[in-house]
Amino acid sequence: MSVELISANHAAALAATLAGRANRTARGFCSGVYPITPTTECMEYLCGQEIEKGKVVRVDSEHSAMGVCIGASSAGARSFTATSSNGLAYMLENCVAAASYRLPIVMAVSNRTLGPPWNIWADHGDSLLLRDLGWLQFYCADNQEVFDTVLCAFKLAEDPRVLMPAVSCMDGFILSHTMAQVEIPEQKLVDHFLPTTKVPHRLNQSAHTLGQLEIPQQAVAHRTQHHQAMSAALPVYTEIQDSFEEIFGRRVADPVVAYHADDADTLIVSMGTIGATAERVVDQLREQGQRVGSIRVRMFRPMPENDLRKYFAGTKRIAVLDRNISLGFGGVLWGEIRGFADPGAIVQGYMVGVAGGDVRREHIINLLTDLQQCQTETVPKIVEVA
């Protein structure tokens, strides 16, 4: 185990490299990559790595990047790519295909605002495009978590009970370009942690066709299988946490990261790096005697509903901080989780840090002041933090 000072982009690429090498005794590693700010350094780093039985194809577009991943994965290899923002939007058609083929491709997304107007700063609107497509989704809050999540994502995506693509998200620049210490395990341990990739329906010698025409009854049966596999991912993830701890000697974060949530009467719910800031706010307010807690939704798909219900039980006031806007509705996370709170609880949506605004502690404290004054839930509020 070594400790390196690297950015989250490099951490994601390093995790993919180690995972790629771990598959050298099987069908190898093949990845299609294309640059886009702020993910570029992830794919650059990957292009600079020597991967035994591995190939990184520098393609012509994000659409082709995912195309190469689909081809590689359907041929039985381990596959990885990284993108952001409009790149992800351009890739989206093939993201649908990757999920529906049930291929265990892993992607790193450095979250960035969708343009135009052109804006390179963090917003979760890009990866949320994948919300309903059958991708496992994680949102990370620090560099170590990005590394660990990418590694775990391969194991989770390739588990025969799950078998679908996974995306690990990091806030653009806030994480992607921030250097921090990351513990990097040795290849031998990664080999031990990650079994070789097995895609049971891969193109082998038998005559079969992937992605054929289906009548509605067949298509709904496949959708149902996919949906059920999503639910299966939650218990499988717990197994992976155990195996990760056993091999690497530390525990990878839970699907829901709770901070002083058990006795809290007020909760701050968020995803990504805002969650880390929220935890510092909790520290500050706890010192002042307020019973505030933080909930960071790390696994967004499948949605860890039971965990959230458990933490929400007995909580009267919940502020949901969304770094995204579903135009005409409100924050996506708010919309999804407000039904999990107790009846009568105030679940107030705040869209904060949208399009890259820098969310600082004082902003969150102001939101909590606003929440305490709420008599009833109101429409979600857009909060400017710039």
Footprint of other proteins (CB under 8 A): 27-28, 30, 32, 53-55, 57-61, 63-77, 79, 93-94, 96-97, 101, 203-215, 218
Mention every residue, 6+ apart, whose C-beta is less than 8 A from residue 130.
88, 92, 95, 137, 167, 301
Residue 92 or 189 with smaller CB distance to other proteins: 92
Q: In angstroms, what is the minimal distance from the CB of 130 to other proteins?
A: 16
User: Which residues make Cβ contacts (< 8 Å) with residue 308, sequence separation at least 6?
Assistant: 256, 295, 297, 337, 340
Q: Least distance from C-beta 239 to other proteins, angstroms?
A: 28
Phi and psi at residue 21, in whole multiples of 5°?
-65, -30
Q: What does each C-alpha distance from 7 to 41, 170, 185, 263 come to in angstroms?
A: 9, 11, 16, 35
Find the shortest distance in angstroms from Cβ 94 to other proteins.
Answer: 6
Buried b (16+ CB within 10 A) or exposed e, 347-375: bbbbbbbbbbbebeeebbeebbeebeeee
Looking at the Cβ atoms of 58 and 177, the one nearer to other proteins is 58
In this structure, are residues 165 and 103 in contact, taking their beta carbons and an 8 Å threshold?
yes
Quote the CA–CA distance of 215 and 358 in Å, as a whole number. 48
> In this complex, which beta carbon is closest to other proteins, that of residue 65 or of residue 233?
65
Say if CB 8 and CB 176 are below 8 A apart.
Answer: yes
* Smallest gap from residue 256 Cβ to other proteins (A): 35
- Comparison of 212 and 376: residue with beta carbon closer to other proteins: 212
Residue 274 has phi, psi (to 5 degrees) of -60, -35
Report yes or no: 174 and 356 within 8 Å, Cβ to Cβ. no
Beta carbon nearer to other proteins, 97 or 382: 97
Least distance CB 72 / other proteins (angstroms): 4
66 or 341: CB nearest other proteins: 66
Distance in Å, CB of 4 to other proteins, minimum: 28
- With vertex at residue 335, the alpha carbon angle to CA 331 and CA 340, rounded to the nearest 5 degrees, is 135
Distance CA 303, CA 297 (A): 9
In whole angstroms, the minimum distance from the beta carbon of 101 to other proteins comes to: 8
* Residue of 287, 283, 254, 288 lying closest to 268 (CA atoms): 283
Q: Give min distance, CB of 98 to other proteins, in A.
A: 10
**Which of residues 70 and 150 has its CB atom nearest to other proteins in the complex?**
70
Nearer Cβ to other proteins, position 2 or 206? 206
